[in-house]
Structure 1
Amino acid sequence: MPKPVTAQPDPIRALVVDDEAPARRRITDLLARDGDVAKILTAENGADAIAKIREERPDIVFLDMQMPGVNGLGVIEAIGAEAMPVTIFVTAYDRFAIQAFESNAIDYLLKPFSDQRFDTTIARAKERLNDLRLRNADSANALGHDLVKLVAQRAKPGAIWHWIVVKSRDTTRLLMTDQIDWIEAAGVYVNVHSQGEAFLCRASLTTVASRLDPFRFVRIHRSSIVNIRSIAALERRSHGEFEVQLQNGDRLMMSRTYRSEVEALLGQPL
């Protein structure tokens, strides 16, 4: 009786985009040892990457975020988030490399990365690519689409707040979000705590949370958001809760509901 024929995965076409030759070589060498990768393309800059994506239609793209001229954001804008191939971000800056990016939906490589980290990343990319091919549906999300949208959104003026407008009588003040320690719900508005003072902002906590930098601010309770850089210590309490001690001396409670969000931002368990 003949053995059943096992379907072989379609060959993968990969594009490596980086302005530094050693960085490109590092990834191409790792890809070359992978039997599923049939073709490896390279691009030295963003403009070249745009042309290669449009002409070659690679399955997977390793996209450096920091390049002179047209950077990774420019590539995304030119191609369009929905049209991007399965995308893995490559960066030397940890402001892009937060645990929130490490999920089944997206991935990144933080330079310098180990062979093991690369293997984990390419395995995740293959899984998502196979899912797309099996579904054969335009509505299926490619690896990195959610992150692509987020990063592209960050490039638009006003999409992410770097200042918060607070008003008091006839005075309008601009508080830099870098100087904010934490924010608490105050009815339909919020109180913004910065440098020992509290200011009323006429926006809901949900609205403020959606406009703050997700690399820096995290919700710790249904009524409070904290600047991760303002945290001095976390003290475990009962039922999975923590007391959050800020550097300015304020003490807040972190409910277990939001513990996973804090751990995701830190990239480590509490």
Structure 2
Amino acid sequence: MKLKALIADDEPLARERLRYLLSSDEAVEIAGECRNGREVVSALRDASIDVLFLDIQMPVHNGFEALARTEALASPAVVFVTAHPHYAVQAFGIEAIDYLTKPVEAERLSAAVTRVRERLAADRALATQEQLRSVLAGLADATNSERYPTRLLVPNGGKDTFVTVTEIDWVEAADYYCCLHVGPKSFMLRETIKQMACTLDPRKFVRIHRSIIVNVDRVREIFHASRSEGAVVLHSGLRLRMSRKGWQDLIASHGKQMR
């Protein structure tokens, strides 16, 4: 199956170079090109895209703003392509697959495409696992025997630490790791945010953002500031960002209990 790629850059020569380099890979199909952030939002709304090659400094909405406006949509794998290396930390903070600096070299682009394929394959495998989990959970519900872990074993330097699940305030994505926030302490666990969302009891933990899972018992207030974003405030006073989908999931699964 071919990778459907979307190229987004306000510079025609930059788009042309990416198109030329990607054309040498028969397993990649150029599904479209965008000249600004508004076109990116429209393209992702109207088409199924596997990978987005995204410039950062573009008219109307920059790359980060465009992604924020498509958060409720199915998100493709993102490879940033930019002349500005200082955005790298922010890019990987939103789970970008790779970060290429202009002018893009063929070998470096090929490596990025390989990483995209590996990530999508892993996501498909994880989706299959999630489907299996869902089926098994349904069977467990029917027999009233559903089980979720009450403690997690977390490597902590030269020792392993048991973390009681109910004591977790919230979970934060950190690339292939998750950071478990437990009161004033934090623990790094080698699981993706998707894996953690499947591990934790959905009756107690809700994924309110692509990079955040929150313990519902710790939520004090919910704010939905706009149609695309909002926030929750924990009993500790900490404010966490929340996507529109996260708000919908939170209300759908816990709205009655939280009123």
Short-chain TM bin: 0.3 to 0.5
TM-score, scaled to structure 2: 0.46
Higher fraction of helix: 2
| Higher Cα radius of gyration | 1
TM-score, scaled to structure 1: 0.44
